[in-house]
Amino acid sequence: MKFKAKPKLSAMQQLEEEPFNEFGLIKDYLDEEGYVHGWYVDGYIVGKMLEANEEYCDLEFWCPIDKSTLAAIGVDDGQ
């Protein structure tokens, strides 16, 4: 199941204060209404898995979200 949500205000404020922090790429993933789309995991919307091994996993992106804006948008399309 895929979801959409708005980024947590603290992440967006941090982005405004320091544009090249760990949330710098979030802007690239926001839709026209300010939502980020992906999979919901414990308070975050995350992108697809890029790489994984026994020691770590590398996600396309991760974004802390405002849970009150979380909405299911459909089934996983397999990407």
**Contact call for residues 33 and 5 (beta carbons, < 8 A):** no
| The predicted structure's pLDDT at residue 9 | 75
The reply to whether 78 falls in a domain is no
pTM of the model as a whole: 0.76
Amino acid at site 65: I
Is residue 74 one of the residues assigned to a domain? no
Mean pLDDT value of segment 51-78: 90
Return the pLDDT at 2: 95
- CA–chain centroid gap for 50, Å, is 14
The share of the chain scoring above pLDDT 90, in percent, equals: 58
Number of domains into which the chain is organized: 1
The pLDDT tens digits of the residues spanning 34-59 come to 899 999 999 999 999 999 999 999 99
Both structure tokens of 4: 């959409």
Residue 77 belongs to a domain: no
Lowest mean pLDDT among 13-17, 23-27, 51-55, 61-65: 13-17
In a domain, 32, yes or no: yes
Angstrom distances, CA of residue 25 to CA of 3, 5, 55, 67, 71: 18, 16, 24, 20, 22
Q: Domain range holding 56?
A: 2-68
- The strand pair at 44-46 and 36-41 is best described as antiparallel
